Structure formats: C-alpha cells, structure tokens
Amino acid sequence: MIASFALWGIPDLFSNTGGRAVVTIGDQEIDVVEFDRAYGQRLRQMEAQFGQVIDREQAAAIGIPQQVLQQLVSERSFNMHAKELGLRGSNRQVVTTIHEVEAFEGFDGRFDRTAYENQLAQAGVTPGEFETSLRNDLMRRQLVEALVAAKPAPDTLAESLFRYRNESRKATILSVSAQEVGTIDLPTEDELRAAFEVEKGRFMTPAYKMVAVAEISPASVAKPDEVTDEELEEGYAARLAEFQTPELRDVDLVSFGVNDKELAETFVSRIEAGEPSTLF
C-alpha cells in the first residue's frame, strides 16, 4: 500500500467495480473491489518497471491476475494468523510510516494533513480505510520478520553444509568390454559350497522364537457382582482369624512398700469409689 504512494502516487488505485466475493479464506472474503485495487497497482508497477503501458489483456496473458489473487490470499492468511497470535500495528507505527511518505508532504517537506487527505480522496479511499490497510501491512511485517529473522547456524551444521557443498572427488574409470572379459564358466557344486562357507554369515539372520503369554490377575478374573451375601458371610466366617486381632488391655502397676499398708488401702478404696487414682 505505502509503496504505491511512494513510487507512483495513488490516482485510480481503487476503482468501484461492485462487492462480489472473488475468494473466501476462512470467514474472510476478498471482494472484486479489493482485487481490482491490487490488480491496478500491479499494472502500474509493471508500467514503471518496463517503461510502457500494459493493458489488462496483456497482463492476463502472462498470468498477472492469478499472481495478484495469490498475493491477496497470502496477505489475508497472514493477517488472520497474526491476529490469532495477538500481533498488531501500533498507532505510533502507523503515524510514523505515514509521515515518511513523500506524497503526503507539503511544500516545506513535512507531513501535510491536507495533502494526505487530497491524495486519498483522489484514490477514493478514506483515511480510515487507508490506515486500516497500513496497520495490516505492519502487522504482517512483524509476523514475516519473526519467521525469516536470520540466526547463526550451529558450527556443526555450518561445517557439515560447507563440506557437502564444497567437497570434490576424483574418480578413475576403467572400461572393460564384453569381448575382453571372455566367457566365465559356471561354478561347480564344491566351489559354491566353499564360497558359501566363507560368506555364510551374510546369508543368515538371527533365530526368532514366538512366545504366547497369558496374563491372569485378580482384577481380570474377579466377578464381584456374581458373589451373593450368603457366600460373603461364609467366606468371612471361614477366614475370621485373618480379620481379627488379639484383644489388648492396658495395666497400670502401682507398688507400695512393706510399711505403706495404710496408703495402699486408701488407694484401693479411692479406685473402687471411682475417684481419681493419682495420690501424689
């Protein structure tokens, strides 16, 4: 978009040819108006390059319409993917780019709003339409630059590629005709066996065995839904010892001396009365 202003100006960049869709990408459409704009721009580029007028019939003969359509499809696809990644052209980038276009400058060499609007009006484009298109260009540029950004290759890869691309070999060719070879007799049975014994390793493969494995686990054979309550009770009773533990009791032992009979009797009476047993 910007190149068309910077190099050739924008008269007749856009022409009104209706709104029928030329192609659909996902939920996006490229209509006849957008296609005609891009087609006209490509024709002006070719005319500037070759220094002669090129009509649409000549352009069609060399496949320019197909090239333009492919370019539009690629740009729209890049736009959709860039938006999915959260990329966007900022307002500052849009303003900076517009101010760098000579076609939008006034007599003092600085950006002139009137010149900007006049140029767009001559092309039948509103500032909003142009700035939206420019923002998409900037958004695509971010995605493309990220994809093609040059990074140094690892040394191992660089060395391997260098050797592959620059290696040279020398070959010596010996041509022997059938007449010079003569007739070769068929080998005998003994010769074949002797040759086989020398090279028999090349004609053998490791031995293989087939093994069938049957895995049986409780989970694979258990059918809990088929067990009745009576069977569960019988099984539990038969294995009751597995599910029980011996009864345990805690015993506190209190010792009294030979001369502590009175204290011992007091302790016992308090225990029997349910009183706390701590005497000290």
| Mean pLDDT in order along the chain per 10 residues (280 residues) | 43 46 82 85 84 86 89 86 82 90 90 90 82 87 75 77 87 85 85 90 85 79 78 83 79 77 83 66
Instruction: Determine, yes or no, domain membership for 47.
Output: yes
Instruction: Determine, yes or no, domain membership for 179.
Output: no
Q: Provide the pLDDT for residue 19.
A: 52
Q: Are the C-beta atoms of residues 59 and 65 closer than 8 Å to each other? A: yes
- Biggest distance spanned by C-alpha atoms of the chain: 137
Instruction: Determine, yes or no, domain membership for 210.
Output: no
* DSSP assignment letter at 31: E
How many Cβ atoms are within 10 Å of 10's Cβ, its own excluded? 20
Q: Which of 133, 148, 163 is the last residue of a domain?
A: 148
- Chain mean position to CA 50: 43
- Same-domain check for residues 11 and 139: yes
Instruction: Determine, yes or no, domain membership for 81.
Output: yes
Instruction: Determine, yes or no, domain membership for 221.
Output: no
Q: Provide the pLDDT for residue 163.
A: 86
Question: Token match 């009365």: residue?
Answer: 273
Number of domains in the chain: 2
Q: Which of 115, 148, 181 is the last residue of a domain?
A: 148
**100-109, long-range: CB within 8 Å, 24+ apart, which pairs?**
101/2, 101/5, 101/6, 102/6, 103/5, 103/6, 103/9, 103/10, 104/5
Nearest to 127 by CA among 98, 156, 88: 98
Q: Provide the pLDDT for residue 150.
A: 63
- Same-domain check for residues 6 and 140: yes
Nearest to 64 by CA among 47, 39, 33, 37: 39
Instruction: Determine, yes or no, domain membership for 245.
Output: no
Q: Which of 148, 165, 189 is the last residue of a domain?
A: 148
Q: How far apart are the C-alpha atoms of 6 and 105, rounded to whole Å?
A: 11
- Same-domain check for residues 7 and 137: yes
Q: Provide the pLDDT for residue 278.
A: 56
Instruction: Determine, yes or no, domain membership for 119.
Output: yes
- Same-domain check for residues 6 and 121: yes
Q: How far apart are the C-alpha atoms of 187 and 191, rounded to whole Å?
A: 6
What's the CATH number where 63 sits? 1.10.4030.10
Give CA angle at 79 (83, 89), nearest 5°: 65
- Same-domain check for residues 131 and 258: no
Instruction: Determine, yes or no, domain membership for 173.
Output: no
**Token digits for 221?**
């054979």
pTM of the model: 0.40
- Same-domain check for residues 6 and 142: yes
Residues 6+ apart with CB under 8 A from 112: 104, 105, 106
The whole domain housing 277 covers 252-280
